[in-house]
Structure 1
Amino acid sequence: MGLSGKDIEQAKSRIEGFINQTPVLTSTLLNQWLGHDIFFKMENFQKIGAFKARGACNTLAWLQETGQQPKSVVANSSGNHAQAVAYAAGKFGLPATIFMPDYSSKVKIQATRSYGAEVVLSETRDITDEKVREAAKEKDTYWIPPYNHEQVICGQGTAAWEALNEVENVNAVFAPCGGGGLLSGTLIAARGLSSKTQVIGVEPLNANDAAESLRKGAIQRLSGVPDTLADGAMTMAVGNITFEYLQKLDGFFEVEEEYLIYWTQWLSHLLKSRIEPTSAMAMEGVRRWLREQNGRQRVLVIVSGGNVDQPTTKKLWEKDWLSLLPKL
């Protein structure tokens, strides 16, 4: 692997002052029910409500550090990365234009605008991606991609780096997978701090391009916009950089929508916090993994964000899943 724990550590130093060092929470009830110790790195308490602020801030800080600071930035995203780049650009005094598909969360579109960025909407993700490629050709303009960039990956890895320095003897770390930036950074951080800690990814079954890519040994692209409530994992394909790291994972799970909804409700209740479906689905991977383990395990879950709009909230709470207690 090209990146190392040292790169994550350097990223952590760069972004101090721009981001929150988020808390690690546990639920006594959940631990009793499952018979294991589960720790949650709460990136829903991060700037812009998601881990993405880490990667965006690190990339701009790195550009400044290396004498490459542009005059403007562009990005393409269906959600949290859009807000993150808008936020980071504001901190560095740079104008930002964000290209988003029009099916993106209305809350995330409005939030991106509120951070001062210009938002350009398109009918499809493919059109969005083509527009950002054209915009990036403008002089002194830098494109910050949502995941397929080494400094973005390093920034995202600082979440796991912080948590693993706080929680000892972690057997496994779980993180959701969209484009693979958070999961790649988590893998690099874990390998740099604890060679015995497994790193495991989780993805919606309805948007399982990463799982298909891992099975076939080559990047697979979704044929259309996936039907999943995990809007943070609706990426059409992983990147060539992130795929190299995903192939080194210790495990990978695909989660059906009903389990994604189940854990969104339960984690919101147990942690008394707003949890995105993309974050919550990782817990179903934890449950399935724990069934195959011997002895009490210590597991870290990266709660990637907490930005949920009203239509998604309504769908998430149509059925009451809290009457079914969590169990292995």
Structure 2
Amino acid sequence: MDLILEDIQAAKRRIDPYIKQTPILYSSLLNKWLGHDIYFKCENFQKIGAFKVRGGVNTVSWLIENNNRPKHIVANSSGNHAQAVAYAAKQFNIPATIYMPNYSSKVKVQATKGYGAEVVLSETRDITDVKVQEAATKEGTYWIPPYNHEQVICGQGTAVYEALTELGEVNAVFAPCGGGGLLSGSLIASRGLSPKTMVIGVEPLNANDAAESLRKGSIQRLSGVPDTLADGAMTMAVGDITFEYLKKLDGFYEIEEMFLAYWTQWLTHLLKCRIEPTCAMTMEAVRRWLKTQQSKQKVLVVISGGNVDQATTQRIWAEDFLQLLPGL
């Protein structure tokens, strides 16, 4: 059965005591340059520095609400979901083990440990996924996947729910796509609150499994670890639950690596806050979409997180893009 707005609202009630109501920012200068009104839902100011905490907290709270409190929680992630589940487990005093690939951001690994979870590193994402599946078979253990879970999706959808409740109707919502949880939740919230609003997904061209899946009509899996700045979009494949929602999107863009660095630099400069390349890339999709519009548009962009380690920061700033002004 399809999830509906009431499911997002229930998730919002569950998570409110444990998360922040994040701000909506805008840049007058950027709006002047582009000639449209662009608003940013800034989940980089969220607990753990990313939207993922919404799904993690909602899922654990939902389990307890339904008298299914686990003895142990496990999860698999290359980054923000790891922190999210570790944080959620800590709030409810449940032990957690997080399985992560070796290439995960060191900042995110340390933060996950800092929330009290045990971290198990593996050589590849595929090995990580196998290990978490094995761990989940133990009695009393509950596996919270990073995106392919209805309560995770409902939690993630509360970000756009909050934003649309505050902003009112917008012409389009843009969000990045990793496994599709944020986009799925954003779609459900948007359809419920503002049915005429377009919902558009964005993915790195170098990690375009979702775009390939949509083109071919079946879930496609990446053949290896993608070379992309967007560590939050390095999932090997979307899930069977999220894929059904991705099919209902109004548009989908694939963005080249240069623009990930370009917009990370510019949004950091314009909004004066730390932003991950995974969500900064959405602005290139916004720019391309706006070029096709004949009237002034009101756009919501989900800034999904702000956790960037030193190595990624160096790659982002290897070339100075602030000499190239944004424009249509």
After TM superposition, the score normalised by the length of structure 1 is 1.00
Residue 235 of structure 1: CA displacement?
Answer: 0.3
| 2:85 aligned partner, one-letter code | V
Which residue in the other structure is 2:96 paired with?
96
Runs of 4+ in 1 over 6 A off after TM superposition: none
Residue 281 of structure 1: CA displacement?
Answer: 0.5
Alignment of 1:175-194 (within 5 A): 175-194=175-194
**Within 2, Cα distance between the matches of 1:99 and 1:157?**
24
Secondary structure of the structure 2 residue equivalent to 1:119: strand
Give the CA RMSD over aligned residues.
0.5
Residue 169 of structure 1: CA displacement?
Answer: 2.5
Secondary structure of the structure 2 residue equivalent to 1:173: strand
Query: Is 1:308 matched up with 2:314?
Result: no
**Within 2, Cα distance between the matches of 1:103 and 1:315?**
15
| 2:205 aligned partner, one-letter code | L
Which residue in the other structure is 1:37 paired with?
37
Residue 168 of structure 1: CA displacement?
Answer: 2.0
**Within 1, Cα distance between the matches of 2:64 and 2:294?**
48
**Within 1, Cα distance between the matches of 2:320 and 2:123?**
34
Residue by residue over 1:71-118, the C-alpha shift from the partner in whole angstroms, topping out at 9 and shown as x without a partner, is 110000000000000000000100000000001001100110000000
Residue 9 of structure 1: CA displacement?
Answer: 0.5
Secondary structure of the structure 1 residue equivalent to 2:273: coil
Secondary structure of the structure 1 residue equivalent to 2:8: helix
Which residue in the other structure is 1:260 paired with?
260
Residue 294 of structure 1: CA displacement?
Answer: 1.1
| 2:252 aligned partner, one-letter code | F
Which residue in the other structure is 1:19 paired with?
19
Residue by residue over 1:177-234, the C-alpha shift from the partner in whole angstroms, topping out at 9 and shown as x without a partner, is 0000000000000000011000000000000000000000000000000000000000
Which residue in the other structure is 1:55 paired with?
55
Which residue in the other structure is 2:284 paired with?
284
Secondary structure of the structure 2 residue equivalent to 1:245: helix
Which residue in the other structure is 1:81 paired with?
81
Which residue in the other structure is 1:250 paired with?
250
**Within 1, Cα distance between the matches of 2:16 and 2:315?**
37
| 1:90 aligned partner, one-letter code | K
**Within 1, Cα distance between the matches of 2:166 and 2:7?**
19
| 2:259 aligned partner, one-letter code | Y
Which residue in the other structure is 1:121 paired with?
121
**Within 2, Cα distance between the matches of 1:159 and 1:7?**
13
**Within 2, Cα distance between the matches of 1:47 and 1:99?**
21
Which residue in the other structure is 1:170 paired with?
170
Residue 18 of structure 1: CA displacement?
Answer: 0.5
Which residue in the other structure is 1:208 paired with?
208
Which residue in the other structure is 2:272 paired with?
272
Secondary structure of the structure 1 residue equivalent to 2:281: helix
Residue by residue over 1:25-83, the C-alpha shift from the partner in whole angstroms, topping out at 9 and shown as x without a partner, is 01000000000000000000000000000000000010011111101100000000000
| 1:31 aligned partner, one-letter code | N
Alignment of 1:105-116 (within 5 A): 105-116=105-116
| 2:164 aligned partner, one-letter code | L
| 2:317 aligned partner, one-letter code | W
| 1:152 aligned partner, one-letter code | V
**Within 2, Cα distance between the matches of 1:293 and 1:169?**
17
Tell me how many residue pairs correspond in the alignment: 328
**Within 2, Cα distance between the matches of 1:273 and 1:279?**
13
Query: Is 1:154 matched up with 2:154?
Result: yes
Which residue in the other structure is 1:198 paired with?
198
Query: Is 1:142 matched up with 2:110?
Result: no
**Within 1, Cα distance between the matches of 2:196 and 2:41?**
19
Secondary structure of the structure 2 residue equivalent to 1:152: helix
Residue 14 of structure 1: CA displacement?
Answer: 0.5
Percent pairwise identity: 74
Gaps of 5+ in 2: none
**Within 1, Cα distance between the matches of 2:95 and 2:69?**
12
**Within 2, Cα distance between the matches of 1:2 and 1:288?**
31
